[in-house]
Amino acid sequence: MQKLLLVEDDPALQFTIQTALEEKGYAVEAVSTTGEAIERLAGDVFPIVISDIYIDERTGLDVLDAAKRRDPNCSVILMTGRGTIETVMAATRGGAFDYIAKPFDLDTMLHAVERAEASRTAGDDEAEEEELPETEMIGSSPGMVEIYKNVVKVAPTDATVIIEGETGTGKEVVARLIHRLSRRANQPFVPVDCASIAPSLLESELFGAMRGAFTGADRDRMGVFEAAHRGTVLLDEIGDIELNFQFKLLRFLQEREIRPVGASRSKEVDVRVLAATNRDLQRLVDEGKFREDLWFRLNVVRIVIPPLCERRSDIPLLGRFFLNKYNGRYNRDVKLMDSGLRALQDYTWPGNIRQLQHVIERLTILADRVDGEAVHAALTAMESRDRPVETLAEAEEDQIRRVLTATGGNKSKAAQILGIERKTLYRKLDRMKL
């Protein structure tokens, strides 16, 4: 039975939708606040989420964000009676599956849910391509071919794999590919960004926690390892895990048992663990910051993705791929000129493929054609590093741009680095017209 989370504060409407969906055989969990929704999403994986947009001090967009971060494949359907171009754009940008205006008849809703479900079970036919960009791997340089070979070899096994590479080189893409080519493909793939979770919460996030285990734990919470049972967990930024938690992780990798915080007994789970890092783990080991035994445990198979500047022959392929994609998405017909290609190939790409992707996206929207000049202009605008700074406001905008470039446009990460709420960042970006 397909699980579904429904977030709607109007009790009558909540009841109506829930009843209709349950009749169709869905296991519906209904909540009426964003807080409850986000908490449920932290404790469990829901393939489909339906959420109102205007609920309380947070919105359905926050629910969307939480759902997507938990499981990028989650299909989120948003509904609102106060739709604006801004909310539709924000929903689209956030990866919402559909957007339904209230009032709607129940058939519209049921139809959207059916399509959401069909899109999840559909194979990889052409229309699906846009839905699965994360597992699309482009590149035919020797370095990439080596990686494909390793991925194909290791995917069907249950081996732990450590994926290393600079930021934006495609570590998560490799992890998803391994999962998709494994026997676990139809089970959950759950990425966990170890760097963004407070060390004190990492244990309960991964292993779960019993009600009352700590203040605020007002119910049992399922951890990632249990939620991903039979599937794959990606421990991202594993180099950032604190030493004292590293031991618990090591024990888990050896015993494949979890004991939720506050629980008196352990239970077995069946997950495959992949790990990724942009830090030099060997060096962290040498410096005593990473346990050597854990390093050995993880390092059953090691895949190292070379930075883009070491496989420049992939740049034309990637450039064309992204241009195609964004031309389609933004309904544009921007062409790649020889001079543009040369400019792309000459650049060093410190942000690797993610940066290339963002530059092309920007060019597709703003430029008439991708020639040398346009590429240079885009790179300068996105770097804006050496510009002399005048006012405090400008300094702030500069810093925001810089951090956004560094995070490859990831606003949640950027807000975290900047030490501000995501909402505040959005407000500032609005003002900057970004």
Handedness of CA 234, 239, 242, 245 (dihedral sign): positive
Does residue 81 touch ligand ATP according to CB under 6 A? no
Only segment of 29-37, 171-179, 226-234, 391-399 that touches ligand ATP (CB under 6 A): 171-179
Q: DSSP secondary-structure letter at 73?
A: T
Q: Is 373 in the site for ligand ATP (CB under 6 A)?
A: no
CB 308 within 8 A of CB 314: yes
Q: Is 136 in the site for ligand ATP (CB under 6 A)?
A: yes
Residues between 137 and 166 with contacts to Mg ion, criterion CB under 5 A: none
Q: How far is residue 386's CA from residue 366's CA, in Å, rounded to a whole number? A: 23
Q: Does 172 bind Mg ion (CB under 5 A)?
A: yes
194 binds ligand ATP (CB under 6 A): no
Task: Give the residue carrying structure tokens 């890092």.
Answer: 277
Question: Residue 293 binds what, of Mg ion, ligand ATP, none (CB under 5 to 8 Å, by partner type)?
Answer: none
| 215-219: long-range contacts, CB 8 A cutoff, minimum separation 24 | 217/261, 217/262, 219/43
> Is 139 a binder of ligand ATP (CB under 6 A)?
yes
Order of all β-strands in the sheet with 3-7: 27-31, 3-7, 48-52, 75-80, 98-101
SS3 at position 162: strand
CA distance 317 to 323: 10
**Residue 224 half-sphere exposure toward CB, CA atoms < 13 A:** 25
Residue nearest to ligand ATP (CB): 170
Q: Which of 173, 194, 284, 336 binds ligand ATP (CB under 6 A)?
A: 173
Contact between 184 and ligand ATP per CB under 6 A: no
Asked if 258 and 267 count as a contact pair (C-beta separation under 8 A), the reply is yes
Specify the residue, 119 or 167, whose C-beta has the smaller distance to Mg ion: 167
Minimum CB distance to ligand ATP smaller for 8 or for 240 = 240
Q: Residue 291 and residue 2: Cα distance in Å, rounded?
A: 41
Which among 60-68, 81-89, 137-145, 202-210 is the span making contact with ligand ATP, rule CB under 6 A?
Answer: 137-145
- How many residues bind Mg ion (CB under 5 A)? The answer is 1
Phi, psi of 401 (to 5 degrees): -60, -45
CA pair distance 359, 377, nearest whole angstrom: 10
Query: Which residues, at least 6 apart from 362, have a Cβ–Cβ distance to it below 8 Å?
Result: 378, 381, 382
- Binder of residue 193, out of Mg ion, ligand ATP, none (CB less than 5 to 8 A by kind): none
Nearer to Mg ion, 43 or 351 (CB): 351
What is the C-alpha to C-alpha distance for residues 205 and 199, in angstroms, rounded to an integer?
Answer: 10
238/418 with CB nearer Mg ion:
238
With binding defined as CB under 6 A, does residue 234 bind ligand ATP? Answer: no
Instruction: Report, in Å, the least distance between residue 54 CB and ligand ATP.
Output: 30
User: Which residues contact residue 104 at a Cβ distance below 8 angstroms, ignoring those fewer than 6 apart?
Assistant: 79
Closest contact distance (angstroms) between CB of 139 and ligand ATP is 5
- 405 in contact with ligand ATP (CB under 6 A): no
Closest separation between CB of residue 216 and ligand ATP, Å? Answer: 29
- Among the listed residues 137, 213, 309, 429, the single contact to ligand ATP using CB under 6 A: 137
Q: Is 169 in the site for ligand ATP (CB under 6 A)?
A: yes
- Strands 267-268 and 257-258, sheet pairing: antiparallel
CB nearer ligand ATP, residue 138 or residue 210? 138
Binding-site string for Mg ion from residue 308 to residue 327, where x marks contact by CB under 5 A and - marks none: --------------------
CB of 98 to Mg ion, least distance (A): 27
Q: Does 168 bind ligand ATP (CB under 6 A)?
A: yes
Structure tokens at 297: 């445990």
**Selected range binding Mg ion among 113-121, 172-180, 203-211, 381-389, rule: CB under 5 A:** 172-180
Q: Which of 109, 192, 241, 353 binds ligand ATP (CB under 6 A)?
A: 353
Q: Which two tokens stand for residue 402?
A: 């810089």
Helix pair angle (372-383, 338-346), 10° resolution: 40
* Binding footprint of ligand ATP, residue count (CB under 6 A): 19
For 358-375, letters b (16+ CB in 10 Å) and e give bbbbbbbeebeebbbebb
DSSP 404: H
| One of 36, 39, 134, 220 touching ligand ATP (CB under 6 A) | 134
Q: Which residues bind Mg ion (CB under 5 A)?
A: 172
Q: Which residues bind ligand ATP (CB under 6 A)?
A: 133-134, 136-139, 165, 167-173, 278, 353-354, 357, 408
